[in-house]
Amino acid sequence: MVRQAEIPAISAGELPGMEAPRLGEPYLLTPGPLTTAYGVKEKMLRDWGSWDGDFRAMTAALREGILALAGDSRGEFDCVPMQGSGTFSVEAMLGTFLAPDSKTLVLSNGAYGTRISQTLKRIGRAHVTLDKGDYLPPRGSEVAEILKADPAISHVVVVHCETSSGILNPIEEISEATHAAGRKLLIDTMSAFGALPLDMDSIRCEAFVSSANKCIEGVPGFGFVVARKSELEQAKGNCHSLSLDLHDQWVNMEKSGQWRYTPPTHVVAAFIEALRLHRLEGGVAGRGARYSRNRDVMVAGMRALGFETLLTDRWLSPIIVTFFNPADPAFEFGRFYDLMKQSGFIIYPGKLTVAESFRIGCIGRMDEHVMSDVVRAAAAALETMGVRNANPPQSALREREKLLDMPPVALAANE
């Protein structure tokens, strides 16, 4: 057994803040919380008064910094941060923008889509769910058909990168179909914002939501909703919850520059530094490019060991990748996890109902050299376990063929 203190220091990259975690600290190959730069953590060593001008300036910088990433050249959007984990902000977005008499189409293909339906049920908002199962993408043509058949549907909600399988959902065609039918779109882009383009000038939506501890590489503690100001203005009195009311949070922030209730001051300070590092890296394009290299190096290395991805390349996101467990009876996920951890890498269990699987995240403060080390650690773990071949069972591969059978994009709205 390798003790924590003996974990070798892993390759440092050239980007500022890309140094390896402190000795004994593992890399988090998980979709948030994730590995953050030392400088980001360091910013939390100071206390801030939430009412003080210095902190109000930080809140303003945070809102502007996020808006700058949203490509809103017409200035139609505003950013409203909300205390809590990402789910709190998702619930705030749904409760605030879906009026009590609205009806929503939820596009679901994984745990986060399911959570949206659950939330709407809990807060009493009418909805129908297009459930595509564990990982098949909802298509624009399907959305167009459903909206045509049910004029009562006012809104569509979609998850951008469904983090439970890692699939990158086709939000462009979904946004086109929704807009063509004259309905409104809300996007959960929690795990993609900051690394994948979500340009408000080209993707038509009313609001989207993300959080501090995903691709911006901050620490957990708040989320944020970017919404059309016209929607925020109309949303007064919609929300089922006092603390999650984005309209009230927005009005108060515009008036006083302050959060309504105690803000996560240290988390905000860390986030400002995370935004600075994001800009230094070349913004969304730079960050997305690093994550894509992380994915490419890791997936190629894992495939060379015999592992197979759940998704075909067309649907693989640079955020997180799902692998089938090997069929070899010597493979046991708990053991594999422990061995990977001993090598300095925390991986993530799978969330599929169709097959045994595990996940490896590509996001966080690490580069492709680290990903090569991940592959080497996986190879060593297989050897220790006595797994000769990491090929998945045939049944898992047959499952994947469903993706290849998917019809090409045919947007009914464009015919």
Ligand X SMILES: *Cc1c(COP(=O)(O)O)cnc(C)c1O
User: Which is nearer to ligand X, 222 or 331 (by Cβ)?
Assistant: 222
- Binders of ligand X among residues 287 to 326 (CB under 6 A) are none
**Binding string, residues 102-141; x marks residues near ligand X by CB under 6 A:** ----------x-----------------------------
- Binders of ligand X among residues 195 to 214 (CB under 6 A) are 211
Structure tokens at 335: 């053991």
- Binders of ligand X among residues 224 to 243 (CB under 6 A) are none
Q: Is 373 left (phi over 0), alpha (psi -120 to 50) or beta?
A: alpha
Q: Give the rounded distance of the alpha carbon of 40 from its chain centre.
A: 20
Q: Which of 80, 130, 190, 360 binds ligand X (CB under 6 A)?
A: 190
- The answer to whether the beta carbons of residues 362 and 291 sit under 8 Å apart is yes
Question: What DSSP string runs through 16-80?
Answer: TT-SPPSTTPPEE-SSSS----HHHHHGGGS---TTSHHHHHHHHHHHHHHHHHTT-TT--EEEE
Around 392, how many Cα atoms within 13 Å sit in the side-chain half-sphere? 22
Give 344's DSSP letter. Answer: T
What is the nearest approach in angstroms of ligand X to the Cβ of residue 159?
Answer: 5
From 19-27, 39-47, 145-153, 183-191, give the range in contact with ligand X by CB under 6 A.
Answer: 183-191
Task: Say whether residue 98 binds ligand X (CB under 6 A).
Answer: no
Question: What DSSP string runs through 291-336?
Answer: HHHHHHHHHHHHHHTT--BSS-GGGB-SSEEEEEPPS-TT--HHHH
User: Taking Cα atoms as reference points, which of 234, 50, 67, 271 lies closest to residue 246?
Assistant: 234
From 86-94, 244-252, 271-279, 344-352, give the range in contact with ligand X by CB under 6 A.
Answer: 86-94
What is the nearest approach in angstroms of ligand X to the Cβ of residue 115?
Answer: 7
Question: Which residues are CB-neighbours of 205 under 8 A, at least 6 positions away?
Answer: 175, 184, 185, 186, 187
User: Taking Cα atoms as reference points, which of 109, 117, 208 lies closest to residue 168?
Assistant: 109
- The answer to whether the beta carbons of residues 144 and 180 sit under 8 Å apart is yes
The count of other CB atoms within 10 Å of the CB of residue 51 is 11
What is the nearest approach in angstroms of ligand X to the Cβ of residue 400?
Answer: 22
What is the nearest approach in angstroms of ligand X to the Cβ of residue 235?
Answer: 21
Structure tokens at 288: 């997305």
Task: Say whether residue 188 binds ligand X (CB under 6 A).
Answer: yes
From 122-130, 188-196, 299-307, 390-398, give the range in contact with ligand X by CB under 6 A.
Answer: 188-196
User: Which is nearer to ligand X, 31 or 263 (by Cβ)?
Assistant: 31
From 8-16, 81-89, 232-240, 266-274, give the range in contact with ligand X by CB under 6 A.
Answer: 81-89
**Binding string, residues 22-41; x marks residues near ligand X by CB under 6 A:** ---------xx---------
Which residue's beta carbon is nearest to the bound ligand X? 86
User: Which is nearer to ligand X, 90 or 274 (by Cβ)?
Assistant: 90
User: Taking Cα atoms as reference points, which of 70, 58, 89, 48 lies closest to residue 253?
Assistant: 58
From 83-91, 145-153, 248-256, 271-279, give the range in contact with ligand X by CB under 6 A.
Answer: 83-91
What is the nearest approach in angstroms of ligand X to the Cβ of residue 104?
Answer: 16
What is the nearest approach in angstroms of ligand X to the Cβ of residue 48?
Answer: 23
What is the nearest approach in angstroms of ligand X to the Cβ of residue 66?
Answer: 16
User: Which is nearer to ligand X, 193 or 331 (by Cβ)?
Assistant: 193
Task: Say whether residue 191 binds ligand X (CB under 6 A).
Answer: yes
From 80-88, 117-125, 284-292, 406-414, give the range in contact with ligand X by CB under 6 A.
Answer: 80-88
- The answer to whether the beta carbons of residues 385 and 331 sit under 8 Å apart is yes
For 204, the 3-state DSSP assignment is coil
- Residue 42, phi then psi, degrees to nearest 5: -60, -30
Instruction: Give the interface with ligand X as residue ranges (CB under 6 A).
Output: 31-32, 85-87, 90, 112, 159, 163, 188, 190-191, 211
